[in-house]
Amino acid sequence: MRNFLAFAFVFAISFGGVTLSATRPVSASGDEQAVLQADKALLQAIGKTDKTAVDRLLDPDFTWIDSSGKSQNRAQLLQNFSAPANADVDPEVRVYGRSAVVRANRGRVQVLRIWAKRSAGWQVVLYQEVTLAVKSEPASTGGSGSEDCENPCRSIPYQPETQSEKDAIVSWQGVMKAMANNDKDAYVPLIADEFTATDTHHDRPLNKTDRIAQINKQKQTGDKPVPSALISARMFDFGETVMMIAREQRPAAKPYFNTRMWVKRDARWQMLFSFNTRIE
């Protein structure tokens, strides 16, 4: 990310747009540093069992999900700290306006931390772990497309509150329909270029190219996946992005937590990631 920002700065100078273009990378880099500092402070405070320091860094709606799918809210975590996985891994950060995505991955253990810029500074909204499968599990197939996908393709047991949340849900349902129908052309514009899908059903994270290849292969074989039904959800509107923490159910399988985030680009909400932890 830093290399990209440096390149953008040089590019702006080369074409004469120094004042306006140069200020954007500096601002973004400043936010990245602030998030990384807050992230480091959080891990250190948890390691020292410093409840006062941790309390300042937790968002009121904070959620902790470990790799077994155990979920804790803010009050529960402050009463009984859990040890964060990959705490010694140098994290990667991407800032999207007033939210930031922090990842600390090593081997099969993948860690996601979502931060939001509040009036009190950067606060963590979500901590989530995923342990990747040793061998990828087959997808649930045998559907007939979106025709048999009532939930989530057409209706869900959740009512979004803001317009951005409503639009993100529409975008998500578009993705679910596209996957149920193996429709690559409908899928592509709804997915961000940096998209990754990380879950306990696969042995590695999948990127956008991987997903497109998966859709194309299923179209050739005639297999149609059966989208998981939504059981419950919580949504967060950060302005430039929207996040949903969902509890979902695969057919004849254990339920899981799936966190997704969308970003608005070119008047279209695109999915940034899907992060899936099975509830054991």
Q: Which domains does the chain have, with CATH numbers?
A: 2-131 (3.10.450.50), 146-278 (3.10.450.50)
Give me the average pLDDT of each 10-residue run along the chain (280 residues): 42 37 46 97 97 97 98 97 96 97 98 97 98 87 75 96 98 96 97 97 96 95 91 98 96 93 96 97
pLDDT confidence of residue 144? 66
Of 104, 102, 127, the C-alpha closest to 31 is 102
What pLDDT is stored for residue 4 in this prediction?
A: 40
Token pair 């190219």 in the structure block, residue: 209
What's this model's pTM, rounded to 2 decimal places? 0.88
What pLDDT does 141 receive?
66
pLDDT at 267: 92
Spatial separation of the C-alpha atoms in residues 39 and 148, rounded to whole Å: 43
**Under 8 Å between Cβ of 35 and 100:** yes
List helix spans (H) across the chain: 2-14, 18-47, 51-57, 74-79, 163-180, 184-187, 208-221
